[in-house]
Amino acid sequence: MIKTLLIILLLTGCAADKKYTERWIASLETLPRVEGYVVTGIFELGKNLYAQHCDSKGNQQWLRYKDETHSWKIGKYVTGGCAGWND
């Protein structure tokens, strides 16, 4: 009885949050390709989703997901921000 209860608690405690999962799927479906760049990471910081792109020269371009419009907005550009990522 106790084993069954513990297994149920473990499985429900590790279940993915449906709202969280749907947001990630919706955002990735609309992630644009940035010419000359490769996606090197998708991050959630606070309530915002960010996509990091790097080019072959080590420059970094960030995009931020806008929940209201279900689109991505070009954000910060960092010269040399990805230095060494493809070595």
Within 13 Å, how many C-alpha atoms sit on residue 3's CB side? 0
Mean per-residue pLDDT over the chain, rounded = 83
In a domain, 86, yes or no: no
Of 78 and 8, the one with more pLDDT: 78
What is the predicted pLDDT for the residue at 20? Answer: 67
Q: How many domains does the chain have?
A: 1
Domain assignment present for 45 = yes
In a domain, 11, yes or no: no
- The reply to whether 41 falls in a domain is yes
CB burial of 43-54 (b: ≥16 within 10 Å; e: otherwise) equals eeeeeebbbbbb
Is residue 46 included in any domain, yes or no?
yes
Q: What are phi and psi of 23, to 5 degrees?
A: -65, -45
pLDDT tens for 30-71 read 999 889 999 988 888 888 999 999 998 999 999 999 999 999
Alpha helix (H) residue ranges in the chain: 2-13, 18-29
Residue 83 lies in a domain: no
Give the residues across from 43 on adjacent strands: 50
Which domain, by its residues, includes 36?
Answer: 17-78
